[in-house]
């Protein structure tokens, strides 16, 4: 007998979560603020509750996937007393501090176990092999419901600090947006010559990015050890040619995406670290924060 699950919030993501649980044979109760979003799920066997309170009462495991932190409190606070003894999994994106506060709030409501999660997938990936979800908070809740959570995407437990899943989620998104920024800039450059971006991306940019991703383990090692001496491509060399911004402006496109990167690389050289690898820019980003 698979655990009954309640899903609060039937936006694009909440519907995908509920559907994956239904498809894997769980009995699922759903609730959404506005009506009409549950129809497809009800046709597949979900029970639609008339209130968030009734939805929570239906299952020992309650998953909230709402717009933001405020909407989670808006939905849970009026029904707080029925959360006692149940496991609460918050898959609403938020900050580490919001997750830590919610864990404290949940403890005050006598929630049986609280997990905050960071979904590393878009809705169409949920239930598929490429989706993974980061969790932090109650290790015993994670162990108890690991198999159920695995129906949504590969579950990864990040630690007992409830803020860790959100922190890692944001770190991964920053990595992704940095890569997307480079893609957009490269596209704008080739576009000035009328080169189709589809062709450029398939034949040159994607293979190039796949090749240079191989540098990351060495950069990571340099950051962890604080030893940045470059073996072959130092910052002085990298900043001596045409700057990203000047080049962009010379061909009539915006250089603003690349400006901060160029500025940090040049500052590092000015500070006397021209012999370092690019990875030493990390030292300017972390500023003077003590390293853990
Ligand atoms: P949607 O905008 O599609 O859905 C938002 C949901 O929140 C709806 O169910 C909406 O209800 C509900 N909601 C909003 N405000 C309130 C409120 N004040 N009270 C009650 N319910 C409210 O968003 P998604 O489903 O795409 O995203 C949900 C969460 O999942 C977000 O935190 C998002 O960051 C996260 N996520 C989404 C991803 C994606 O690609 N979509 C990827 C990874 C994470 P109503 O229908 O009544 O408006």
The secondary element (H helix, E strand) that includes residue 47 is strand 47-48
Distance of CA 81 from the midpoint of ligand 1 (Å): 24
Does 192-285 match 5-159 at the fold level? no
The reported pTM is 0.93
Is 238 within 8 Å of 212 (Cβ atoms)?
no
The fraction of the chain above a pLDDT of 70, given in percent, is: 100
The pLDDT of residue 184 is 98
What's the pLDDT at 289?
A: 72
Residue 288, pLDDT above cutoff 80: no
CA distances from 205 to 33, 179, 180 (A): 44, 11, 12
How many whole angstroms from 14 Cα to the centroid of ligand 1? 7
Q: Are 197 and 190 spatial neighbours (Cβ–Cβ below 8 Å)?
A: yes
Give residue-wise pLDDT tens across range 215-264: 999 999 999 999 999 999 999 999 998 899 999 999 999 999 999 999 99
- Determine the atom of ligand 1 nearest the C-alpha atom of 74: 19
pLDDT of residue 1: 83
Give the percent of the chain with pLDDT over 90: 97
Q: Domains of the chain: which residue ranges?
A: 5-159, 192-285
Ligand 1 pocket: which of 17, 41, 66 to mutate (most atoms <8 Å of CB)? Answer: 66
Overall average pLDDT of the 177-200 stretch: 98
Asked: is 192-285 a CATH 1.10.1040.10 domain? The reply is yes
Give how far Cα 225 sits from Cα of 130, 170, 212, 235, Å: 32, 23, 21, 18
ipTM exceeds 0.90, yes or no: yes
Mean pLDDT of the chain, nearest integer: 97
**What does the pLDDT look like over 57-97, one tens digit per residue?**
999 999 999 999 999 999 999 999 999 999 999 999 999 99
Q: Which residues contact 57 (CB under 8 A, 6 or more apart)?
A: 82
Alpha carbon of 136 to those of 76, 82, 90, 191, 202: distances in Å?
Answer: 20, 23, 10, 44, 38
Among 8, 11, 89, which is best to mutate for testing ligand 1, by the most ligand atoms less than 8 A from CB? 11
Q: Please report, for the chain, how many H helices and E strands are present, in that order.
A: 14, 8
Give the binding-site residues of ligand 1, using a 6 Å CB cut-off.
9-14, 32-34, 37, 65-67, 71, 74-75, 92-93, 119, 122-123
Which CATH number applies to 5-159? 3.40.50.720
């Amino acid at each position: 007998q698979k655990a009954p699950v309640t899903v609060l919030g039937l936006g694009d993501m909440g519907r995908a979560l509920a559907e994956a649980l239904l498809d894997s044979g769980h009995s699922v109760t759903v609730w959404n603020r506005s009506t009409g979003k549950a129809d497809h799920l009800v046709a597949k066997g979900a029970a639609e509750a008339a209130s968030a309170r009734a939805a929570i009462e239906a299952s020992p495991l309650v998953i909230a996937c709402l717009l933001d932190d405020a909407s989670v409190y808006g939905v849970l606070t009026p029904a707080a007393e029925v959360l006692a003894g149940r496991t609460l999994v918050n898959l609403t994106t938020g900050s580490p501090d919001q997750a830590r506060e919610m864990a404290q709030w949940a403890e005050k409501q006598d929630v049986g176990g609280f997990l905050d999660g960071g979904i590393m997938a878009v809705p169409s990936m949920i239930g598929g092999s490429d989706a993974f979800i980061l969790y932090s908070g109650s290790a015993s809740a994670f162990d108890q419901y690991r198999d159920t959570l695995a129906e949504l995407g590969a579950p990864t437990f990040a630690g007992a600090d409830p803020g860790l899943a959100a922190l890692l989620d944001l770190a991964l998104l920053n990595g992704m947006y940095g890569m997307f920024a480079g893609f957009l800039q490269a596209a704008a450059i080739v576009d000035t010559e009328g080169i189709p971006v589809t062709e450029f991306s398939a034949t040159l940019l994607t293979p190039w990015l796949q090749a240079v991703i191989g540098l990351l383990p060495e950069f990571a090692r340099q950051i962890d050890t604080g030893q940045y001496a470059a073996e072959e491509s130092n910052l002085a060399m990298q900043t001596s040619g045409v700057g990203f911004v000047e080049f962009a402006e010379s061909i009539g496109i915006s250089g603003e995406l690349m400006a901060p990167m160029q500025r940090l690389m040049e500052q590092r050289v000015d500070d006397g670290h021209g012999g370092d690898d690019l990875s030493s820019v990390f030292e300017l980003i972390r500023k003077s924060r003590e390293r853990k």
